[in-house]
Amino acid sequence: MDDHGARRTGAERDARRGRGDAVSAPVSAAAGRSIRFFSIVVWIAGTITAMVLASVMLSDYLINPRTGELGFYGAEARNPWSDESPQRFERDGSVWRGSGSGYIELTAADDEPIELTATRIDAFTTFRIWPSSQIDVPAADRRLPLALGYLGDAGDTTLVVPPGERTQLWVQSTGDWEFAARRITSTPIEDTLSGSGNAYLAYRGDALSARFEHHGTGIFFVSLVSVRENERPIIETDEVDSRVSWDEAPLVVFVIEADTGDGEWTVTIDELAGPTQTTTPTEQEQE
């Protein structure tokens, strides 16, 4: 290249620099970290938003217990507590039947656990309850009842623990249903009770926790059922020593399943702390 060409090339390079076409200076390490951090924050926020929207939109997307298939089964059944005049189903002795969604009236005489066994079930059917009657409350002010369980096939069972006062057992279904209602004979527990095998223990008291022990072999499952909750906090085998708490309710039923092995169990209700006594010093003590 002659001198003239070299001078021209240098001039063109200088011109490009003047126009800002030159390669930008490299991003500093601190700036790079800030950009990466911002990108991660945006990604996390977007993921959380998508999960929240999905949980709201797909809250009724369930697995059909009868077929194992997915579908919007909950969305098909009406929420009867949202209706101003929901359908009421009458009790025919120990047989309760109906079609679609509505409620069954429970009274103060229903003060023991009730086992419901499906004898006919045409659609996925769920049950809900609230500690007190809501039927006379405007629909817009009714609380969402507690889900007790569901019946999907003939022979399925679920346990209802009434509060011992008037309330409603809400039924959600899209088809005809019929089930047998059987009062459960439960064993009262006040402080400590031991035994073996399956049992229904009924606690009516102020304590909110208990200790569950199982010694020996075999399964030891404990379900906790009341008008405020329905859960199985203990699913164990052989040696077990667990403490379980619950929400305040007029009746709490401990359903114990321990029909395998040679294990024996003991349930001990935790004692409530007594009131704190405050002693006022006498005038002589103050002196």
160 and 202 together in one domain: no
Tell me how far apart the alpha carbons of residues 152 and 133 are, in angstroms, rounded to a whole number.
Answer: 27
- List, in sequence order, every residue forming a beta bridge with 121; answer none if it has no partner: 177
Which residues contact residue 281 at a Cβ distance below 8 angstroms, ignoring those fewer than 6 apart?
none
- Residue 149: inside a domain: yes
- The reported pLDDT for the residue numbered 200 is 97
- Residue 165: inside a domain: yes
Print the domain residue range for 194: 187-269
- Residue 226: inside a domain: yes
Q: Strand, coil or helix: what is 74? A: helix
- Residue 67: inside a domain: yes
Tell me how far apart the alpha carbons of residues 48 and 54 are, in angstroms, rounded to a whole number.
Answer: 10
Beta-sheet pairing, 102-106 with 88-89: parallel
Tell me how far apart the alpha carbons of residues 160 and 226 are, in angstroms, rounded to a whole number.
Answer: 8
Question: Domain ends where: 73, 90, 123?
Answer: 73
Q: pLDDT 10s per residue in the chain (287 long)?
A: 555 554 555 545 554 444 444 444 555 666 666 677 777 777 887 778 766 555 544 444 444 444 444 444 444 567 899 999 999 999 888 999 999 999 999 998 988 999 999 999 888 888 899 888 999 999 999 999 988 888 888 899 999 999 889 999 999 999 999 999 999 999 999 999 999 999 999 999 999 999 999 999 999 999 999 998 889 999 999 999 999 999 999 999 999 999 998 999 999 999 875 554 444 544 444 44
Number of structural domains the chain divides into = 3
Is the separation of the CB atoms in 98 and 171 below 8 Å? yes
- Residue 257: inside a domain: yes
**Cα 85 versus chain centre, distance:** 28
- The reported pLDDT for the residue numbered 75 is 45
175 and 198 together in one domain: no
- Residue 196: inside a domain: yes
Residue 173 is encoded by which pair of tokens? 């279904």
CB atoms inside a 10 Å sphere around CB 27: 11
163 and 140 together in one domain: yes
167 and 192 together in one domain: no
